[in-house]
Amino acid sequence: MIRINEIKLSIHEDLNSIREKIIKKLRIQPQELVDYRIYRESIDARKGDAIFFVYTVDVALKNEAQVLKKHKNLTSAPAAEYREIPRGEKKLENRPIVIGTGPAGMFAGLILAQRGYKPILLERGRDVDRRSKDVEDFWTKGKFQPESNVQFGEGGAGTFSDGKLTTRIKDIRVRKVLEEFVAAGAPEEILYSYKPHIGTDILKDVVKNIRLEIEKYGGNICFDTLVTDMQIENGKIKAVEVNQQEWIHTENVILAIGHSARDTYEMLYRRGVQIRQKPFSIGVRIEHPQELIDQSQYKKFAGHPRLGAADYRLTYQSTKERAVYTFCMCPGGMVVAASSEAGMVVTNGMSEYARDRENANSALLVQVNTADFGGDHPLQGVEFQRKWEQEAFKLGGSNYYAPVQRVGDFLEGIPSSQIGAVKPSYLPGITPTNLSKCLPDFVIEAMKEAIPEMDKKLKGFALADALMTGVETRSSAPIRIERFEESMESLNVAGLYPVGEGGGYAGGIVSAAVDGIKAAEKIIQKYKP
């Protein structure tokens, strides 16, 4: 195929117009075009009076060599297909184990299953159907389940998110991840969209279908199965204990536990696995009317069906050298209760595929350095998170209500006594208060400095009635489980592969999935199934 760049469509032209633009650009007859596929879509909104979609397209022609000769600026499309790595020759004594079924664990298990290794996936939470009911009960009735919530269960934390698939990593495995999502029921547009997302409503079916694919190839997924201990001998993994009852022998464990498995972190530390502190960020969820964001970003084109709900990404460097930034922005979504331990309030954001709810929300985060943790223990960052989650729980009313504050009140340094025009989306409920009581002083100071500056980039960001909901503490893991770069194995436990967000090596659905695939490949390279 031939790759063509810079195919432009106005906002008023639909995708079918690409075909005639290819024919015109290449100066060929219609019958010479065999097929084409969109490789990438981007949007050009630099001019306020016009918005264009810009496409990179791979084209199959009857006379490709002749066209390449005529158009010197064209090239053949580079190979985009994922290539399976050769299997190793070492005998595999026991089936490989994958701990966790978030994106890293799910894709590690999928690759191992597709290649004939029949992995065992151990998930502390429940399958997505039972999990969805537990989450709904928490949001509507305040009934918290410590092992089945927004953090734990089939699909990991990503299941209850925007399902955002943007990533900055350049890796051929990204395409594999997206193709598997499409095969499992995700919309085909994620293969090329400039801001691909699936949405939590579709993701629930997608993760279920990936589970069925793993099982089809002989893998097993065990729910309600918490890894409570590990047997490590002579620097090698030998077995894992589940539910404090049963030992499963294995020489390969892919550790895809997610960034909230704090009890598992503690177990790994007790067993001597090398862990170190890692910086992360904390802050709040900030909520605006979606209409305001649309108008600020798209001007007169706001609300156009081709554009959908607008998003944003803002950064600011405070005078105290703290990075302040928005993260995991959820257009047309809701702020959700994401606690994973009793007596703590944690927030996150979520959108459905249509992104058609009234409010937009985003994390507004401030950089936290390891020096802020208050100690040298490898898990000190976890205790730092817990402290502020407990303060938010108490401030909200000790019933999983979240503390909230209007932006106008926050900037003036006065408590909120009521909400304004922006209605909160967080359930089970909210308590207007003063967020300075559940966040470190340096976070409050940095956000007060950043919000007016961000308003200069996104008009309306400092809207007085915009709502801030505390606290967001799980943007990334506060630890890194150290591993060798080449083998991906733990520095001091052979056969243990820490991956994904929980290991401190990824920052989103796609990057975590890619990390899981790479770990699976290390096992495949070494062993025969």
| Amino acid code (one letter) for 329 | M
Q: Give which of 347, 127, 138, 122 is closest to 241, Cα–Cα.
A: 122
Name beta bridge partners: 90.
527
The reply to whether CATH 3.30.70.2700 applies to domain 2-76 is yes
Tokens standing for 63? Answer: 């006379």
Q: Give which of 500, 482, 502 is closest to 492, Cα–Cα.
A: 482
Q: Work out whether strand 97-99 and strand 253-255 pair parallel, antiparallel, or are unpaired.
A: parallel
The conformation of residue 444, written as its DSSP 8-state character, comes to H
Output 429-432 pairs: Cβ under 8 A, ≥24 positions apart.
Answer: 429/399, 429/401, 429/402, 430/396, 430/401, 430/402, 430/403, 430/404, 430/469, 431/395, 431/396, 431/397, 431/401, 431/402, 431/403, 431/404, 432/404, 432/405, 432/406
| Amino acid code (one letter) for 96 | P
Burial of 467 (0-12, 13-18, 19+ CB in 10 A): buried
Who's near 422: CB < 8 A, 6+ residues apart? Answer: 287, 288, 289, 359, 463, 465, 466, 467
Q: How many CA atoms lie within 13 A of 433 on its CB side?
A: 21
Torsion angles phi and psi, residue 8, rounded to 5: -105, 135
Tokens standing for 159? Answer: 């299941």
Who's near 335: CB < 8 A, 6+ residues apart? Answer: 285, 287, 347, 348, 349, 350, 361, 402, 424, 425, 426, 469
Average pLDDT, 10 consecutive residues per value, the chain (529 residues) = 92 92 93 94 83 94 88 85 94 97 98 98 98 97 96 96 88 94 96 92 97 98 98 98 98 98 98 98 98 94 91 96 96 98 98 96 98 98 98 98 98 97 97 98 98 98 98 97 98 98 95 98 97
Same fold, 2-76 and 97-276+477-526: no
**What gap in Å lies between CA 370 and CA 478, rounded to an integer?**
9
The separation between the first and the last C-alpha atoms of the chain, rounded to the nearest angstrom, is: 35
pLDDT in the model for residue 175: 93
Residue corresponding to tokens 């994401």: 338
- CA quadruple 99, 103, 108, 110: dihedral sign: positive
Torsion of CA 203, 207, 209, 212, to 10 degrees: -170
pLDDT in the model for residue 45: 80
**What gap in Å lies between CA 525 and CA 529, rounded to an integer?**
10
Name beta bridge partners: 121.
98, 221
Give the C-alpha distances (Å, rounded to integers) separating 179 from 192, 234, 511, 518.
11, 40, 15, 16
Give the C-alpha distances (Å, rounded to integers) separating 215 from 116, 120, 462.
11, 10, 49
Residue corresponding to tokens 């606290």: 471
Helix (H, G, I), strand (E, B) or coil at 120: strand
Name beta bridge partners: 320.
none
Radius of gyration of the chain (CA): 24
Tokens standing for 215? Answer: 């099982």
**Domain extents in the chain:** 2-76, 97-276+477-526, 279-472
Torsion of CA 106, 112, 117, 119, to 10 degrees: -10
Q: Work out whether strand 496-498 and strand 253-255 pair parallel, antiparallel, or are unpaired.
A: parallel
DSSP string, 465-498: T-EEEEEE--SS-SEEE-B-TTT--BSSSBTEEE
Angle at 353 between CA 347 and CA 358, to 5 degrees: 60
Tokens standing for 269? Answer: 């530390």
What is the dotted CATH code of the domain comprising 97-276+477-526?
A: 3.50.50.60
Tokens standing for 340? Answer: 């994973």
Tokens standing for 278? Answer: 């890692």
**What gap in Å lies between CA 100 and CA 164, rounded to an integer?**
20
* pTM value surpassing 0.85: yes
**What gap in Å lies between CA 356 and CA 335, rounded to an integer?**
14
Helices (H), 191-348: 200-216, 262-270, 290-298
Q: With beta carbons less than 8 A apart as the criterion, state whether 161 and 207 touch.
A: no
Q: How many CA atoms lie within 13 A of 490 on its CB side?
A: 27
**What gap in Å lies between CA 365 and CA 128, rounded to an integer?**
29
Cα 461 to the center of its chain, rounded Å: 24
